[in-house]
Amino acid sequence: MVKSASMPVVQCEGCKALFIPPVYVCRKCESTHFCETTVDGKGVVYTHTTIRVAPEALRDQVPYTILIVELSPELRVTGRLEKPQASDLRVGQSVRFTRVDEQGYWFEASA
């Protein structure tokens, strides 16, 4: 079994809420003080879509799947599916973070 990578997030130093960076003001306590931390990167698919007609820069990557992953009840992130398994993907399915790059966060479906 492949472990998920640690996923970079920021934490409010006031109320300890977690956010996907960048964030400048905490929406819970209005603090402007944050520290970098990580979470385990395990989550579930909140929703997803498959892109078949892409912008010019991504045209050679179609079809690709964009998903919103719920890491906790108050922490969601938009990412890409690492391997094109979109036909098998379902809401509520377990996924794990694999990497982040200039295109964003990447996830892989869990068994």
Domain-embedded: residue 104: yes
pLDDT grade for 2, boundaries at 50, 70 and 90: very low
Domain-embedded: residue 31: yes
Domain of residue 67, CATH code: 2.40.50.840
Of 51, 71, 100, 99, the closest CA to residue 11 belongs to 71
- What was the pLDDT predicted at 88? 81
- What was the pLDDT predicted at 86? 59
What residue type is 75 in one-letter code?
L
Domain enclosing residue 17, as ranges: 7-109
The answer to whether residue 69 scores a pLDDT higher than 90 is yes
Torsion 37-39-44-49 (CA) sign? positive
Q: Tell me the per-residue pLDDT of 87-97, one tens digit each, with 9 for 90 and over.
A: 688 999 999 99
- What was the pLDDT predicted at 111? 66
- What was the pLDDT predicted at 73? 85
- What was the pLDDT predicted at 4? 59
Domain-embedded: residue 1: no
Q: Domain count of the chain? A: 1
Q: Any idea what DSSP says for residue 59?
A: G
Domain-embedded: residue 13: yes
What is the rounded average pLDDT for all residues in the chain? 90
Domain-embedded: residue 73: yes
Q: What percent of the chain has pLDDT over 70?
A: 92
> Is residue 2 classed as helix, strand or coil in its secondary structure?
coil
Q: How far is CA 44 from CA 10, 28, 36, 100, in A?
A: 20, 24, 23, 17
**pTM for the model:** 0.85
Domain-embedded: residue 51: yes
What average pLDDT does range 46-54 have in this prediction? 93
Token pair for 68: 């919103």
Tell how strand 64-72 and strand 42-51 pair up: antiparallel
Domain-embedded: residue 2: no
